[in-house]
Amino acid sequence: MPQNKDLKKRILRGVGANGFGQLVTVLIQVITVPLFLNFWGKELYGEWLIITATPMFLSMSDLGFTIAAENEMTMKVAKRDRKGALEVFQSVWLILLTVSIIVVVSIFAFFNLVDTNKFLSISQLSSSESAYIISLVSFYVLLGMQISLLAGGFRCDGNYALGVCCVNYLRLFDYLVVTVAIYLGAYPLNVAICFVVARSIGVLLMYALLKQKSPWISYGFQHQNLATVRNLTKPAVASMGLPLVNAMSNQGMVLIIGSLLTPVDVVVFSTLRTLSRLALQLMRTIRATISPELSTAYAVKDMVLARKLHRRSCQVSLWLSLVAVIGLIFLGDLIIKVWTKNTIEMKFTLFLIMLLTIVFSSFWYTSFAVLTSTNQHHKIVPKYLFVTVFYLCICTVIVPYLGLNFAAICLMFIEITMLVLVLKESLNLLDEKLQLYLKSLFEFNQIFSLAKR
């Protein structure tokens, strides 16, 4: 019973920490846009967005090893193998360090050899300023990988919620420093320096707290192991591939509509889809919270608990998504009118298809936590790529005749197919029977219970 209470506490703390993260994201977005516009103006702010867009792609330059590492570390700690977890930590840290040095030096050299302003159509800043800003923001993004790895250190030792809170407090700290700097008259190069200084301080503070909570985790080279890196390659590549396939699904459909229909159709489709996907934010919180517990349960072969975690997280996701969908059915038209100031017409059938798609999406997305938490997701990502390409090709042929509704139907079939594929793999991994799993989705008296049975 005490262990069950501790589990509930960790899950509730995880939900709270991820909810806090969502608030931080909204707060940053709400404050920064008017801040930059007010002090810099549209032209300078626009050029800042152009200059900083390129380095943001570096967030995937860890090649997926950070996500794979935190799952592997969690499973090893659950099996009381701290030495193995430390090997993973130091091995991946060495990869991040090596990649960071190569990337920053390469970017700095490239943008000093070419005319940065001509390359990016910049006129408000000098070419040297643009090159330095790109290099500094690149370093800032790469420091973010170190923070993610440190968060994995918290996660593996039972301090997941604390790690998530630290990450988001540091994000707030970054933008607080930058906000003060802009108020004091800082321009792009100074702001880029402030970002790097703030994040460097954040990395040191987070590492100090991690050492206090988990003294056995440390930077260094003595425990790094190339065999460990090789073992993480498959899940790492899959972790990197997942957002790429998601981007293909999201942006690919936009490109298809834009090329075969009209720009107005693109705006309508994108706006309605953005509104419908608000429900997925809750599902991301559930999946992120349940992930470390699934890693631990699987590592110690506690399949009873792992099945219960899977059942309850899917149950909560299903019914929350249905509630969100019903709410958006009634409020969607009003939200669109207020949000777009009556510039976008509500197409109810299209919106209804998108909302139904979200129910399927939230369902498989939550179940997918079983595979990602155990580094088994490399089995699914190639199938996800094939399914996405297949339906996008069908969409390309038929959308000119059937319009936006068919585009939404194609996206829905991607989610339905993924639901079947992911659920099959998850249930096999958990040694779970489909009939019992489906029955559990309607056990409302058990929805918040994690007691073993």
329-356 per-position pLDDT tens digit: 898 888 888 877 777 788 889 999 999 9
pLDDT reported for residue 451:
45
Q: How many CA atoms lie within 13 A of 202 on its CB side?
A: 30
For residues 33, 249, 273, 27, the Cα torsion angle rounded to the nearest 10 degrees is -30
CA–CA separation, 370 vs 149, rounded Å? 21
- Residue 198 in this model has a pLDDT that exceeds 90: yes
| Tens of pLDDT, residues 273-313 | 888 887 777 777 888 888 899 999 999 999 999 999 999 88
CA–CA separation, 199 vs 192, rounded Å? 11
Give kind and range of the element (H or E) at residue 424.
helix 404-430
**Residue 425 contacts residue 371 (beta carbons within 8 Å):** yes
Average pLDDT, rounded, for the chain: 85
Q: Where are the beta strands (DSSP E) in 285-399?
A: none
pLDDT reported for residue 449:
59
SS3 state of residue 441 = coil
Q: By CB neighbour count within 10 A (0-12 exposed, 13-18 middle, 19+ buried), where does 356 fall?
A: middle
- Start-to-end Cα distance in the chain: 12
pLDDT reported for residue 446:
62
Look at residues 61, 65, 240, 243 and name the one whose alpha carbon lies nearest to residue 149. 65
- What are the boundaries of each domain within the chain? 2-224, 234-446
- Residue 1 in this model has a pLDDT that exceeds 50: no
**How many Cβ atoms sit within 10 Å of the Cβ of residue 386?**
12
| Greatest mean pLDDT range, 5-14, 97-106, 211-220, 245-254 | 211-220
SS3 state of residue 165 = helix
- pTM of the full predicted structure? 0.80
pLDDT-derived band at 215, boundaries 50, 70, 90: very high
In the block, residue with structure tokens 């489909």: 434
| Tens of pLDDT, residues 94-152 | 888 888 888 888 887 887 777 767 766 677 778 888 888 888 888 888 898 899 999 99
In the block, residue with structure tokens 């179940």: 367
